[in-house]
Amino acid sequence: MLKKGQTPAAYLFLAPFLITIGIFFFYAFARAIYYSFTDFNLFNDPTLIGVKPYVDVLSDPSFRRALANSLVFAVITTTLQTVGALLMAVALNNKIRGMAFFRAAWYMPSITSSVVITLIFLWLFQRRGVANYAITQWQTFLPYTLTLLGVLIAAQVAQVLWERSRRLPAGWFDPALAAVSLLIAVAVTAALSWTGVLSARDVAPYDFQYFSDRWISIGGVQILSIPMLVIIIQNTFTTIPTLMLFFLAGLQNIPGALYEAADIDGATPAQKLLNVTVPMLRPVSFYVITVGLIGTMKMFDQVAVIGSAAPRDTLITLAYYVYTNTFKAGAAPVNMAAAAAIVLAAIILLMVFLQRRFISSEAI
Amino acid sequence: MKKTLFVSLAVLVAAAGSAHAQTTIKINGYGGQDPAIVGDLINRFVKPALAKDNISVVYQPLQGDYNQQLTTLLAAGNAGDVFYVPGETFDGYVATGRLLPLKGVVNTTPFIKSLNDAFTRNGKTYAVAKDFNTLTLVYNKDIFDEAKVAYPNDNDTWTSFQNKLAAVKKALGNDYYGACLAPDYARMGEFAFAAGWQPFDAKGKTNLLDPAFVSAFNYFTGLTKNKVAVQPSELSQDWSGGCLASGKVAVAIEGNWIVGFLKDNAPNLKYGTALIPKNDKTGKRGNFVFTVGWAINANTKNKAAAAKVLNILTSPNVQQYVLEQGLAIPSRSSLQNNAFFKKTTPGAQNSKAVFQGASSGTVRPYYFGTQGSDWTKPINTALAAVLSGQKSSADALKQAQQEMNTFQNR
């Protein structure tokens, strides 16, 4: 408790934050709510027109597409990044040589600018980009790959059967035998290639257009566009490291005794993960999912960078919708943008509320 | 002592006075190569003319999305005294009330009528065209020679043009294409104008199911039948100029901007230019004028000085310089007999066709009405769906009209 006379000092120290939050959050939020009920277009004096902007926004096909895109993106990305971050944290929590290097390497995508990563992904997934090139190469050299795999499996099976015929214990995936099998497979493939039996196929370049108007549909309803799928991959790639840090911190706090007890009971690694790690990480998971949902619902930069490289409907999100309706040429439907922003805020609040209510209440 | 003080005060006052008399006119325009060009124009023509008036001129380019930045500056009251206003976003700016009507400020009669029309709303002209472009057929002579097909010419109709493209495709086979067509209203609309379509009716509504629009839409998308025409993306290009430069495509529908691009990217390409083909029924051709105008900020404190600057920037000698430098096609109608247009270089020929395009047939500005560029979205979506074979033309147009209704009823 503050003693008498300390209150002003406390407020003095808090002032910079209070002022910033006051101006850039409360004032801005109140203004947005006000504008969402007016006919404001950046240049006129706003007059109240009731809920018309909300009606306009809800009847706008772009808005509905943006809403659907945002929700699909949020759900898929949050799921992928949470699971991925957890698995990666568990992997990096082991005490192996060179772990510091792996931790640093895994964390790199997170500290790189998302704009730069988006540009890199744009190049990777162009029509003549690396992704299509890799697929073309894969198809070209398919005879080699198939031969290698076929010989590898045949050699492994032969070796294991031979070992077993000599009454020696040998598993199907025995690493020592596999190494020998691999050597045999490489030798056979090289020999076949040398003698001209095997050669690369002449295939047309693989030409999938990732940034085009293609959709994954269920029952005729367009659910997820291919460009959005690329962004999901990219977003998962960049956010996993950050979220992994939270899980790593959480993992350090799980008592080792629990794992020892599990070991004594004969639990498999999977059982330990599901029955010890996951329940103990519940508060961290709640935080990670909340941050993930909010972050993905507000996703904007990737879409803005890709811009007109992909058809707009395939990528438009709520945040991007708000942006494009505010920054137009000349008078802009700022009232609609404000209404959409309020809808976005309401959805995020609702998501967090539902999560607190049903998912993790007992863990907090 | 007192005397010294008095003298120094007097000097100060005089200095302040002379500083006050110096008026600065700020110009907002595009970034990119424009700062160099406009800077040169200001140094060569504007500064000498204004030296005695004590007016200085500064060019402040807006990098990135010009319209967005100009809108922000205008809304905040920080925009320049004189600025570019692009024809396609002009209506959005008229709606802001920040453009000064030019009647009695600048004389607009010496400029091409279709260009003045592009900047006139409700009888008030708000900008003077700085320069402009229209669409032309730019063709690769070697491809037509090799296919032994006659070049496109100014008398071509939709049918004869289509036949020429089909003949080229038939003669040269799979690796070559007749034309490169982007799913874009900016490349398809001129056919609709030729067929007699009007983008907005008396009530400001758009009818995409109008037979004239449907016939143009079907003609444009029909050119892709048997791969006679392809989309730029199918050739890993992002516009049809890139297709033409690749040497695989016989014709591109583009404006004068393609000349500089071809000079840099395909210097050995032999090309010619023809006007956009005429509609078989109406016998007319259609065209867009793409133009950027000079406008004066309605809130400027130096209206007279801004008008002076605008007049110099659109004066005959400035426009002559712009034309000769190959920068753009100027907007004064008196320039049609200019010696430059009589040159036989492909670039000058293209400039001539672009200049002619502005007054041949039904020419409309590239504009979308007050609601802005989203207006083209239903049309472009329909074009993309049909060109990529995802939808039939009838279905695509029906959906486009629905979206257009929703958009316009907002």
pLDDT tens figures, B103-150:
888 888 889 888 898 899 989 999 999 889 999 999 999 999 999 999
Rounded distance between C-alpha atoms, residue B137 and residue B299, angstroms: 42
- How many residue pairs from chains A and B have C-beta atoms closer than 8 A? 72
Shortest alpha-carbon distance between residue B253 and chain A (Å): 21
Contact B236 A212 (CB under 8 A): no
Same domain flag for B252 and B378: yes
Residues B306-316, mean pLDDT to the nearest whole number: 92
Query: What backbone phi and psi angles, to 5 degrees, belong to B406?
Result: -60, -45
Quick one: pLDDT at residue B23? 87
Q: Which residues pair with A332 in a beta bridge?
A: none
Encoded tokens for B150: 């006659």
Contacts of B401 in chain A (CB under 8 A): none
Average pLDDT of chain A, as a whole number: 88
Residues A334-347, mean pLDDT to the nearest whole number: 94
Same domain flag for B63 and B212: no
Picking from B389, B231, B409, B406, the residue whose alpha carbon sits closest to that of residue A65 is: B406
Residues A86-96, mean pLDDT to the nearest whole number: 86
Residues B157-167, mean pLDDT to the nearest whole number: 95
Query: Following DSSP, what letter does each residue of A83-97 receive, concatenated?
Result: HHHHHHHHHHTS--T
Q: What is the CA A160 to chain-centroid distance, rounded?
A: 42
Quick one: pLDDT at residue A214? 82
Contact A43 B93 (CB under 8 A): no
Residues B180-209, mean pLDDT to the nearest whole number: 93
Residues A191-197, mean pLDDT to the nearest whole number: 89
pLDDT higher than threshold 90 for residue A204: no
Rounded distance between C-alpha atoms, residue B295 and residue B118, angstroms: 13
Residues B326-338, mean pLDDT to the nearest whole number: 81
Quick one: pLDDT at residue A359? 66
Contact B92 A43 (CB under 8 A): no
pLDDT higher than threshold 60 for residue A61: yes
Contact A60 B94 (CB under 8 A): no
Contact B384 A331 (CB under 8 A): no
pLDDT higher than threshold 50 for residue A363: no
Contacts of B387 in chain A (CB under 8 A): none
Contacts of A209 in chain B (CB under 8 A): 233
Chain B contacts to A (CB-CB under 8 A): 65, 67-68, 70-72, 74-75, 86, 89, 91-98, 233, 236, 370, 372-374, 377, 381, 384-385, 388, 390, 403, 406-407, 410
Same domain flag for B228 and B150: yes
Picking from B352, B395, B354, B383, the residue whose alpha carbon sits closest to that of residue B186 is: B383
> How much helix, strand and coil, in percent to the nearest 5, is found in chain A?
70, 5, 25
Q: In what order do the strands lie in the sheet containing B136-140?
A: B229-230, B177-180, B249-254, B136-140, B271-274
Quick one: pLDDT at residue A361? 47
- CATH number of the domain where residue B173 is located: 3.40.190.10
Contacts of B97 in chain A (CB under 8 A): 43
Same domain flag for B300 and B278: no
Shortest alpha-carbon distance between residue A233 and chain B (Å): 23
pLDDT digits (tens, 9 = 90+) for A225-265: 999 999 999 999 999 999 999 999 999 888 989 999 999 99
Rounded distance between C-alpha atoms, residue A163 and residue A157, angstroms: 10
Same domain flag for B187 and B271: yes
A61 vs B236, B384, B406: nearest CB: B406
Which amino acid would we find at residue B37? Answer: I
Domain ranges across chain A: 53-125+214-358, 132-195
Same domain flag for B159 and B100: no
Q: Within 13 Å, how many C-alpha atoms sit on residue A69's CB side?
A: 28
Shortest alpha-carbon distance between residue A211 and chain B (Å): 10
Picking from B293, B301, B292, B291, the residue whose alpha carbon sits closest to that of residue B81 is: B301
Shortest alpha-carbon distance between residue B261 and chain A (Å): 21
The domain of B95 spans 24-132+289-349
pLDDT-derived band of residue B6, with 50, 70 and 90 as boundaries? low
A42 to chain B: closest CA residue: B75
Threshold 0.80, pTM exceeds: no
Residues B188-210, mean pLDDT to the nearest whole number: 93
**B31 or B372, which is more confident:** B31
Shortest alpha-carbon distance between residue B260 and chain A (Å): 24
Same domain flag for B166 and B99: no
Beta strand pairing call for B271-274 and B136-140: antiparallel
Quick one: pLDDT at residue A156? 92
Please state the ipTM of this predicted complex. 0.71
* Domain end call among B300, B320, B349: B349
Classify domain A53-125+214-358 at the CATH class level.
mainly alpha
Contacts of B85 in chain A (CB under 8 A): none
Residues 6+ apart with CB under 8 A from B327: B37, B131
Test mutation, A58, A328, A334, chain B, max B CBs within 10 A: A328
B359 belongs to a structural domain = no
Contact A329 B388 (CB under 8 A): no
Same domain flag for B105 and B157: no
pLDDT digits (tens, 9 = 90+) for A32-41: 999 999 999 8
**CA torsion B223→B228→B234→B240, rounded to 10°?**
-70
Shortest alpha-carbon distance between residue B92 and chain A (Å): 4
Average the pLDDT over each of A110-124, B8-22, B360-374 and give the range with the smallest value. Answer: B8-22
pLDDT higher than threshold 90 for residue B27: yes
pLDDT digits (tens, 9 = 90+) for B219-256: 999 999 888 999 988 887 889 999 999 999 999 999 98
Same domain flag for B223 and B372: yes
pLDDT higher than threshold 90 for residue B73: yes
Rounded distance between C-alpha atoms, residue A347 and residue A334, angstroms: 20
Contacts of B86 in chain A (CB under 8 A): 329
Burial class (CB in 10 A: 0-12, 13-18, 19+), B145: exposed
**B321 or B327, which is more confident:** B321
pLDDT higher than threshold 80 for residue B17: no
Type and span of the H or E element at A356: none
A43 vs B96, B377, B406: nearest CB: B96
A54 to chain B: closest CA residue: B410
Contact A43 B373 (CB under 8 A): no
Sign of CA dihedral B151, B152, B155, B157: positive
pLDDT-derived band of residue A102, with 50, 70 and 90 as boundaries? confident
Same domain flag for B154 and B221: yes
Rounded distance between C-alpha atoms, residue B28 and residue B98, angstroms: 14
Alpha carbon separation from B84 to B28, B88, B121, B350 (Å, rounded): 6, 12, 17, 25
Does residue A312 belong to the interface with chain B, where contact is any CB pair within 8 Å? yes
pLDDT digits (tens, 9 = 90+) for A64-78: 999 999 999 999 999
A43 vs B75, B236, B406: nearest CB: B75
A127 vs B75, B236, B372: nearest CB: B236
What part of A 55-114 touches B (C-beta under 8 Å)?
A: 56, 59-62
Residues B146-159, mean pLDDT to the nearest whole number: 94
pLDDT higher than threshold 90 for residue A49: yes
pLDDT higher than threshold 70 for residue B9: no
Give the number of other CB atoms < 10 A from CB of residue B239. Answer: 18
B8 belongs to a structural domain = no
A330 vs B92, B233, B390: nearest CB: B92
pLDDT higher than threshold 90 for residue A184: yes
Counting the structural domains of chain B, the total is: 2
Picking from B374, B359, B309, the residue whose alpha carbon sits closest to that of residue B116 is: B359
Shortest alpha-carbon distance between residue B403 and chain A (Å): 8
Contact B388 A213 (CB under 8 A): yes
Contacts of A312 in chain B (CB under 8 A): 377
Residues 6+ apart with CB under 8 A from B213: B192, B195, B197, B207, B397
B261 belongs to a structural domain = yes
Residues 6+ apart with CB under 8 A from B410: A56, A60, A333, A336, B371
Do the Cβ atoms of A141 and A199 come closer than 8 Å?
no
Same domain flag for B82 and B170: no
Rounded distance between C-alpha atoms, residue A291 and residue A287, angstroms: 6
Contacts of A326 in chain B (CB under 8 A): none
Contacts of B233 in chain A (CB under 8 A): 127, 209, 212
Same domain flag for B282 and B302: no
pLDDT-derived band of residue A134, with 50, 70 and 90 as boundaries? very high
Contact B71 A313 (CB under 8 A): no
Burial class (CB in 10 A: 0-12, 13-18, 19+), B79: buried
Quick one: pLDDT at residue B5? 55
